[in-house]
Chain A
Amino acid sequence: MSILVVLELKDGKVKPVSLSAVTCAKLLSQKTGLLYNVALIGAPSDSAVEEASHLGAQKVFVCSEEHLKHYTAENFKIAVVKIAELSGAKYVISVASSLGKDLMPRVAAKLGAGMASEIIEVIDGETFKRNMYAGTVIATVRLKSDIKVLTVKGTAFEKAEKVSSKSEIHKVEVKEVFEGKRFVELRETKSARPELTEASVVVSVGRGIKGPENIKIAEELTDVLGGALGASRAVVDAGWLPNDYQVGQTGKTVAPQLYIALGISGAIQHVAGMKDSKFVVAINKDPEAPIFQIADAGLVADLFQAVPELTQKLKKLKEQSMG
């Protein structure tokens, strides 16, 4: 019996955010005495396999087939289930990325497992905490099934660190292919900025930015801080920024050191995605905007005046400190 962590790959490399699932496995390991294994499915590079072998796992299962080069839930499910069975997994865990959310319920259904989505805490081997109602409620859930499937909220668990010991590496072959689905393409949002979920500074824009031509005001601030740009749903719905910029209940969850909300009202669905940020700044011209209730520093101002001024002054400060 063991715990299985499904790591996620991007361009052959381990996605850092998926290391939070390893930390969850470590906690479960302490509570249950079970050891954990990790799975790399798709087209892992040699360095990804090397990295995965230094995560304190008993074994690294590598499943690298031509038909798994592009992710589909149907084909990855076959691989995950095979590895889960091979390794006698009692828990199957991944991070709640869009891939994890798509894949893991399907895995759970196949394994006849109960599943808890986006857990934020491990209480014991069968009890977990997770958000409901857009983060306005925390539920304690218990999984009673023999096998348990979990996705973890990336911001709720640290990323597992490298260890010096090395895990055994096992190659796994999967020949079965699901016929009814074909990956066509990924239209990737290109950005030179850090990943939204990894960045230590996030500047997010809301409807208050008025139009796509004004986004650059926020971008200039973002770049002085070396941060990532995010957005409210209103901005993404309007087509001013791509879908993967959305922060919130149904978008991404971020917990940077510094979160700056520009022209965002602070609806619960937005707050759900950023309330664990360390320090929150809000700039909004409406003193009653709910975002101020959760801001550590709220500035009631017109963002078209305040933001350029803030950017200029921070730029100076940065130049001074770089000396």
Chain B
Amino acid sequence: MKILVTAKRTPDPYSKIKLKPDGSGIDTSNIKFVINSFDEIAIEEGLRKKEKFGGEVVVVSIGTQECVEQIRTALAMGADRGILVDTGGRYLDQLGVAKILARIVEDEKPDLVILGKQAIDDDANQVSQILAELLGWPQATFASKVDIDLNSKKAVVEREVDGGIEVDEVSLPAVISADLRLNQPRYASLPGIMKARQKPLKTVKIEDLKVDVSPSVEVLKFEAPPQRQGGKKVKDVDELIQALKESKVLPF
């Protein structure tokens, strides 16, 4: 089966995010960029399905030329082919990203698209659902287990929801979004990294896709959240209870 996955370039989740002094964006000077944590999980799931059923894993990243790094990492993990949609640095909203992915899906005709449930920079959690709607496909978001039956062309997906685990069956092609516990992504091996250099990586200019990506969501400014005034220590359990009493938060 043919599976399309993504590799959004985002800051390392453990890096410290600082704002530019004028609030126009994030100071990226000391930040390490990686594949969005959830996309790594999506890529891993695509690879596991390919290992089971055969086929191809195609990885897409939308952004500047720098995203080549993330595509190469995905190729080193085992993906077969990469597509970079070069935006020339222009800002896209989630609808814009989903429209581009929909265009690529039209060309590539995958049986399955697996994305991350959310990008850890914008924390939007929208693209998979929008993409599914644009394609008229079923969606299975927040997946923690995906079982595919190629004969019936269906996937049974366990989804992490507020009340526990919801199980849904979707017919393929479908869009799945990966949650944290879907799998543990592999590291790229040294031979994998060597091989990745030879794998095809196509660059497409955003203009050439002929999709209207003018954003309807704009970010006007970024600011730091109000800091919690914490840091007070108590020396033992009795002092802790005293502090609790004084704060009047105890229910009795």
Contacts and interface: CB of A to CB of B under 8 A. Distances in A.
B123 A132 contact: yes
B230 A294 contact: yes
Interface string B106-139: 0000000000011011111111111011100111
Contacts of B6: none
A180 B130 contact: no
Interface string A7-25: 0001000000000000000
Contact of A244 (B156, B163, B239): B163
Interface in A159-173: none
13 contacts: A105-B127, A109-B134, A113-B216, A115-B126, A131-B123, A133-B123, A140-B220, A181-B170, A225-B250, A243-B144, A278-B247, A281-B244, A301-B236
A245 B133 CA distance: 30
Contact of B169 (A143, A184, A249): A184
A318 B252 contact: yes
A109 B128 CA distance: 11
B120 A133 contact: yes
Interface stretch (A37-45, A50-58, A82-90, A186-194): A186-194
A296 interface: yes
Interface stretch (B46-54, B56-64, B93-101): B93-101
A244 B94 contact: no
Given A116-B217, A133-B120, A279-B249, A98 B161 contact: yes
B28 to A, nearest CB: 12
A7 B138 CA distance: 23
B240 interface: yes
- Main SS of chain B's interface residues? mixed
A134 B247 CA distance: 28
A233 B119 CA distance: 17
Interface stretch (A27-35, A69-77, A212-220): A69-77
Contact of B122 (A72, A132, A188): A132
B244 A143 contact: no
Contact of B17 (A106, A137, A144, A145): A137
A113 B160 CA distance: 26
Interface of B: 11, 13, 17, 19, 26, 93-95, 98, 117-118, 120-130, 132-134, 137-142, 144, 156, 160-171, 174, 179-181, 215-225, 228, 230-241, 243-244, 247, 249-252
Can you list the 3 inter-chain pairs with the closest CB atoms, starting with the nearest?
Answer: A114-B216, A105-B129, A109-B133
A145 to B, nearest CB: 4
A318 B123 CA distance: 41
B94 A310 contact: no
Contacts of A236: 181
A56 to B, nearest CB: 26
A141 B217 contact: yes
B120 A249 contact: yes
B218 A142 contact: yes
Contacts of A322: 252
Contacts of B124: 117
Interface in A195-254: 197, 200-201, 225-226, 233, 236-237, 242-244, 249-250, 252
B118 A296 contact: no
Contacts of B250: 225, 258, 314, 317
A108 to B, nearest CB: 7
Listed residue (A105, A298, A318) with the most chain B CB atoms within 10 angstroms of its CB: A105
A275 interface: yes
Given A127-B220, A279-B249, A182 B225 contact: no
Contact of A298 (B117, B170, B233): B233
A135 interface: yes
Nearest to A181: B138
B210 to A, nearest CB: 18
A184 B223 CA distance: 43
A1 interface: no
Contacts of A189: 163-164
A72 B168 contact: yes
A136 interface: yes
B215 to A, nearest CB: 8
A256 to B, nearest CB: 9
Nearest to B238: A313
Contact of A141 (B133, B218, B235, B247): B218
Given A105-B127, A136-B224, A299-B233, 10 more contacts: A101-B141, A109-B95, A133-B121, A142-B217, A143-B217, A186-B166, A187-B167, A189-B163, A244-B160, A297-B234
